[in-house]
């Protein structure tokens, strides 16, 4: 699992959100979200930005270049 997928999972769990909720709020399919979280796929820039905005983190934090603000 990559730093990104681990961080995506950690953020979702720390906020007590379901994967379905995050997918809807970020305007992506549930199956795409699950693939991002499990490391099977990597999102494009627009989806990365949607995740960062939704969780109020920077792209560097989401990618694992800086620590998450938990």
**pTM of the predicted structure, to 2 decimals:** 0.92
User: Could you read off the pLDDT of 18-27 as tens digits, one per residue?
Assistant: 999 999 999 9
Residue ranges covered by each domain of the chain: 3-62
Confidence tier at 70 by pLDDT (50, 70, 90): confident
DSSP state of 65: S
What's the pLDDT at 1?
A: 62
The mean pLDDT of the chain is 95
Distances (CA, A) of 52 to 55, 59: 5, 6
| CATH no., domain 3-62 | 1.10.260.40
């Amino acid at each position: 699992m990559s730093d990104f997928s681990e961080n995506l999972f950690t953020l979702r769990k720390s906020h007590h959100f379901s994967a379905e909720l995050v997918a809807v709020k970020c305007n992506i399919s549930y199956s795409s979200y699950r693939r991002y979280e499990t490391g099977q796929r990597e999102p494009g820039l627009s989806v990365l930005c949607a995740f960062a905005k939704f969780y109020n983190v920077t792209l560097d934090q989401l990618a694992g270049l800086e620590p998450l603000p938990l």
